[in-house]
Each structure stands twice: as C-alpha cells, then as structure tokens.
Structure 1
Amino acid sequence: MNSKRRLTRSSNRILTGVLGGLAEYFGINKTLVRVIYVVLSIFPGRILFGLLVYLLLTVLIPEDSGTKHHTTFWGSGQQSRSRKELHDVTEEDTDKK
C-alpha cells in the first residue's frame, strides 16, 4: 500500500478547514485539535500570534480538490444542495367575511 497522505483543508469545516485538515492528516479527533488551538491561542499575548498562524496556514494549505464546499460559519462543509422550485402556485384568501 503506497498511498501518500496529502495535507489539505478539510471539507468538515467551521471557518476555513485548516484545523480539521490537520486533524485528518495526523489521524486525531477534529474537536480535540480545535480545542487545543483555542486554549493555546487565548494565553495572554498569544491571540495575535494564533490568528497569524491560522491565516498563514489558510494560505499555505491547499483546498481538498475532490469536494465542493458549502461554506457557512457553522456549516458542516457539506456539498451544496440544489434548490427546490415551486411551480403553479396560487394564492387564495382564507379570510371569509
């Protein structure tokens, strides 16, 4: 089995998928990686450094090319679903006087 793992941003994302991608690459729990990142970033004087590292990783780590993402802040990173369309819609007044 000669399968090489690639570090890519995850399709299971909250913001950009960086932390989820790191968790998938190393084979650990995504929530654990996110919690560790937040805890390490909130130490006094480290918030700006944590944000800069996150932004740098967002630029350096490529997107997972196999999936199209539906990006929302709290979205699950699922593929976009098609919209349903209504046809032949009529409006009736239900208030009878």
Structure 2
Amino acid sequence: MKETVNVNIGSQAFTLDEDAYRVLRSYLEDIRSRLPEYDTETMGDIEVRIAEIFREIVSSPMRVITLDTVRAAMHQMGAPSDFGERRGSAAPAEDEEAAEAEPRKLYRSRTDRSIAGICGGLAEFFKIDVTVLRLITLFLILFGGLSIWAYIILWIIIPEQPAPKFNMNRKKR
C-alpha cells in the first residue's frame, strides 16, 4: 500500500503516489534552478504542459498518477539540462575561466530596469548595487553634474541585453 498526495499542477488537480510526487517535485525544482529567477511564466507553462501530458496518459481523473507516468512525462518534456545551466552551480574554477575567456560586455538590463535599464546594466557591469547607482545618477541629474541628455545618449548607444534562448518544443534525441 502506498500513500498518495493531492497536488495542483498547471491549475489542474491530480493525485500522485508518494514516489511519483517526490520524483516530479525534484524534476521541477531542477528545472526551476535552471531558469532565470524572474521567469515565472515559463515555469507555469512547463507545469501546464506536464498536466496536459498526464491527462493524455491517464484516462480517468480518478486514477492515481504513478511513478511510470511521471517518468513518461519527464521523458517527453526532456532532461532538466535541456533548459539551460543551473544558476550559480558551476565550479568556481570554471566560472573564473569563463569570465577570463569571454570579455564583459555592457548591456541595458532587461530585468532590472526602471526606465531604460541603463543603471541596471551599469550596476551589473561594475558589480555594484543598482539602488546606489540609481541614487547617484538621480543626484547628479538634479544637481547639474550629469545632464539628462547623457542618460538619453546612453539609452541610444548601449544595446539591450540579448534575450535568453529557450525552446519549449525542443525534443530530446
């Protein structure tokens, strides 16, 4: 006899046996660790797709989702590594080598922006707190040390950070 767990996946209720729940939770946490922190929409889409797969495999809503069903869904979705690298999981030596091999580039931030992402991009480039940089910029604009035109010129010159590449339809081969 196995215990079951009631869960809500992609706004749909399912009953999973305990083993299936542990494996699915671990799988989803692994994927979540590979997506950008701010990207909740993609994680929601992944859950909705898993719910669709469960509905396709299990004929009756009264049936319990087993470990085999979860593994079949995971196989169809692909390995967590297909969703990218883990945030902050690379070994320090690998991180330093990658940083030395690839020069830093200045971009306007896509995620940390109030107006155009200039301060967010500069803060990321110089590895300082964005709030401090915003306050300094505000004081310089207000008290004449920096013209609003300089901010607008930076807005035009600095390219926007490239969008993260993610393909939900990519199949495992």
- TM-score in terms of structure 2 length: 0.35
**What's the RMSD between the two structures over aligned residues?**
1.5
Unmatched 5+ residue regions in structure 1? Answer: 68-97
**Equivalent residue for 1:58?**
155
Looking at secondary structure, tell me which structure has more strand per residue: 2
Superposed displacement of residue 66, structure 1? 1.9
Higher Cα Rg, which structure? 2
- TM-score in terms of structure 1 length: 0.61
- Residue of 5, 17, 25 corresponding to 2:125: 25
Q: Distance in 1 between matches of 2:149 and 2:159?
A: 17
Q: Please give the secondary structure, in 2, of the residue aligned with 1:32.
A: helix
Q: Please give the secondary structure, in 1, of the residue aligned with 2:160.
A: coil
Looking at secondary structure, tell me which structure has more helix per residue: 2
| Aligned positions, number | 64
Q: Percent identity?
A: 36
Moved over 3 A (4+): none
| Cα deviation 1:11-51 (Å, max 9, x = unaligned) | 210000001100100000000000000111111xx28x521
Unmatched 5+ residue regions in structure 2? Answer: 1-96, 165-173
